[in-house]
Structure 1
Amino acid sequence: MTNPVFLALDVPQIDAAKALAQSVGPHVGGLKLGLEFFCAHGPQGVHQIAELGLPIFLDLKLHDIPNTVASAMQSINVLKPAIVTVHASGGRAMMEDAKAAAGEQCRVVAVTMLTSLDQNDLINTGIGGTPHDHVMRLAELAEKSGLDGIVCSGQEISAVHKQWKHGFHVVPGLRLASHATGDQKRTVTPREARDNGASVLVVGRPISRAEDPAAAAREIEATL
């Protein structure tokens, strides 16, 4: 992948989303459409963004019983996404069925631990160990389930890459050193994530909420 940066295009209005994608298109490698976008615009919205010609990362974080997730995956195959997410905590059978139901050209990656969570959140949800322990357990499970890779924070990507060297790993929640972290608790810079083995770098607000999104995208591209 020439440019590993995917813009998180979580914009409520479809015209604004298309304009933003067009303005930064030359400086990113693909577009990530998440739950907010999909709920607002549905499959038709995905088709409209796909017309711009960039790979689509459909970040739906599917998590349900295996049959339901497999059926959902079959339903979105018509959208021809390059990447789709499921939750690793859905278990091995769910991940195996998700991968079996995905399109041939679609990479299925498992979300391990959201970058908005930290140690206290694990404790409050009854999960033992550190965030690092939790991510590594789920990464191992995703690999055994036949998935293509995982989603993790930049703080775990180095260890994940060493454990699963040929996996396709996605790092979200990235911030430049000069930017505020917002609601993200476990962040690194795009360059740090890339150097430590990330295949895809998901960048949202540092680009989408910048005064000049194209300039912000160029700034990030220049650091890689």
Structure 2
Amino acid sequence: MTETNLASRLIVGLDVPDLRIAQAVVRELDGVVSFYKIGYQLAFAGGLDFARELVAEGKQVFLDMKLLDIDNTVAKGVENIAKMGVTMLTLHAYPKAMRAAVEAARGTPLCLLAVTVLTSMDESDLIEAGYEYDPHTLVLRRAEQALATGMGGIVCSAGEAAAVRKVVGPELAVVTPGIRPAGTEHGDQKRVVTPADAIRAGSSHLVVARPVVAAVDRRAAAQAILAEMAAA
């Protein structure tokens, strides 16, 4: 696995409160990381314009919006997001929403990712929310539906990546958040694995936020994760 290939598989989550910090993270990681995730926190603090800036600089952007709405609203949102030039976009893996998004993104390079079960949720959380399935079963069911609707990839826990890979085959992206290098705190994540285990399980992309962004030396933290990925 080449260094360039590795860099394109590590996505650093810019889960920070403002653009000043996000810009500092990107500057510090220049030459090491080229792929960044922008979610709700930064999106509502100027992050969408920052996403356009990153794209213009040749960086890849994973826009983590987890869209879910009526078909027309999802479709119109996806159409505009595709025009931004971002690489990946998430939506919740509801079949109607996925079908609308796939049709809206047709002919563009935008990779649509189906969010299966949030990595902050375990079986008791799903029961409380009214689901009849345990996390593993629900993840696989949604992976099958995402494949059938023509989505570009799946977001799931790395603990489920191997099983998901068997469902979706070798071509779809399997993007795994909740990655925690050995010896780091889990925070609010409940279904976590190490970078090496995620790669071995079949993850195509790893999303890492706090272990890099909150590190004293962000550059060294990212390089350590890349080294662990290479060793796997």
| Deviant stretches of 4+, over 3 Å | none
Asked if the contact 1:5–1:201 (Cα under 8 Å) also holds between the matched residues in 2, the reply is: yes
Partner of 1:201: 206
TM-score normalised according to structure 2 size: 0.91
The one of 50, 70, 75 aligned to 1:45? 50
Asked if the contact 1:18–1:49 (Cα under 8 Å) also holds between the matched residues in 2, the reply is: no
Identity among equivalent positions (%) equals: 40
Aligned length: 222
Distance in 1 between the 2:126 and 2:157 partners?
Answer: 15
Partner of 1:150: 154
Partner of 2:85: 80
Is 40-49 or 153-162 further displaced after alignment? Answer: 40-49
CA gap 1:140/1:155 in 2 versus in 1, 3 angstroms: same
Distance in 1 between the 2:152 and 2:30 partners?
Answer: 25
Structure 1, unpaired ranges of 5+: none
What is the identity, as a one-letter code, of the residue corresponding to 2:101? A
Partner of 1:131: 135
Distance in 2 between the 1:181 and 1:202 partners?
Answer: 14
* Deviation per residue, 1:146-203 (Å, 9 max, x gap): 1011100011001001111122110001001110100000000111111111111000
Distance in 2 between the 1:146 and 1:48 partners?
Answer: 29
Structure 1 residues 59-208: aligned runs within 5 Å = 59-88=64-93, 91-102=94-105, 104-165=108-169, 166-208=171-213
Asked if the contact 1:113–1:135 (Cα under 8 Å) also holds between the matched residues in 2, the reply is: yes
Distance in 1 between the 2:208 and 2:90 partners?
Answer: 16
Is 108-117 or 43-52 further displaced after alignment? Answer: 43-52
* Deviation per residue, 1:13-68 (Å, 9 max, x gap): 21221121121132224111111111111532222333442111111100111111
Taking only aligned residues, the RMSD between alpha carbons, in angstroms, comes to 1.4
Distance in 1 between the 2:178 and 2:130 partners?
Answer: 24
Distance in 2 between the 1:42 and 1:220 partners?
Answer: 25
